[in-house]
Amino acid sequence: MHALNIPHYYIPFGMEQVLTPETTLTGQNAWPELDPRPIEYIRNNALNGFKFRLMLLGQLPMGFLCGMKIKELSDSTAKVTVPYKWLNKNPFRSTFWAVLGMAAEMSSGIFLMMYTYKQKPSVATLVVENSAKYYKKATGRTTFVFEGGMDIKNAIRQTMATGEPIEVVCPMKGFNDSGELLVEYSFTWSFKARKK
């Protein structure tokens, strides 16, 4: 294995070397391709408002109650919205920080669902760190934009190839409907392929 520079989004636990898709083990591509059928299933359900709300009701009830929606979901970019309303408000007439954090997390978390659902081997995921910086009050709809979907996909493929845990830092930004930056979040996700 060749010594490689570690991209900024990879923070492997105790690993001095990281595979790239071009690196091979025993003559085979070291990073397995993901089954595209479960990926499209999750994408289609996430973009269908009714099906996404049913998923939230069963798996993330507070997301259902706060009115969170996925407005865009490509291979690399997700846009998640959350409204300002009575249930989501704080005493200062803006959206409560925890509601904003839930929508921010979903903008990266949807890629975990999309790229791990029914894949073999299965991959364990966990948020290990998060941070936020607030600039303006969220007094209307807030849209979170995350553009690191391919970083997550590659990390999942890497842990499936190596069996080693890996972390990915996922920064996202929240904007109001006027395009003003309201908040920046960062979630660090940990991935580890389960033994087959």
CATH of the domain at 94: 3.10.129.10
In this structure, is residue 104 part of a structural domain? yes
Query: ∠112-29-10 over CA atoms, to 5°?
Result: 45
User: Given the structure tokens 């490689």, which residue do they identify?
Assistant: 4
CB 18 within 8 A of CB 31: no
Give the pLDDT confidence score for residue 31 in this predicted structure: 85
Those residues with Cβ within 8 angstroms of residue 183's Cβ, 6 or more apart along the chain or in another chain: 100, 104, 132, 133, 134, 135, 138, 142, 173, 174
Give the pLDDT confidence score for residue 29 in this predicted structure: 57
In this structure, is residue 177 part of a structural domain? yes
Give the pLDDT confidence score for residue 96 in this predicted structure: 97
Task: Supply the range of the domain harboring residue 189.
Answer: 24-193
Those residues with Cβ within 8 angstroms of residue 187's Cβ, 6 or more apart along the chain or in another chain: 104, 105, 108, 109, 127, 129, 130, 169, 170, 172
pTM: 0.84
Give the span between the Cα atoms of 183 and 173, in whole angstroms: 6
Give the pLDDT confidence score for residue 14 in this predicted structure: 41
Give the span between the Cα atoms of 61 and 115, in whole angstroms: 22
In this structure, is residue 1 part of a structural domain? no
In this structure, is residue 113 part of a structural domain? yes
In this structure, is residue 59 part of a structural domain? yes
Per-residue pLDDT of the chain (196 residues; tens, 9 = 90+): 333 333 444 444 444 344 444 443 333 356 889 999 999 999 999 999 999 999 999 999 999 999 999 999 999 999 999 999 999 999 999 999 999 999 999 999 999 999 999 999 999 999 999 999 999 999 999 999 999 999 999 999 999 999 999 999 999 999 999 999 999 999 999 999 998 6
Give the span between the Cα atoms of 184 and 175, in whole angstroms: 9
In this structure, is residue 144 part of a structural domain? yes
Give the span between the Cα atoms of 75 and 46, in whole angstroms: 13
In this structure, is residue 10 part of a structural domain? no
Number of domains in the chain: 1
The Cβ of residue 189 has, within 10 Å, a number of other Cβ atoms equal to: 24
- CA Rg value for the chain: 18
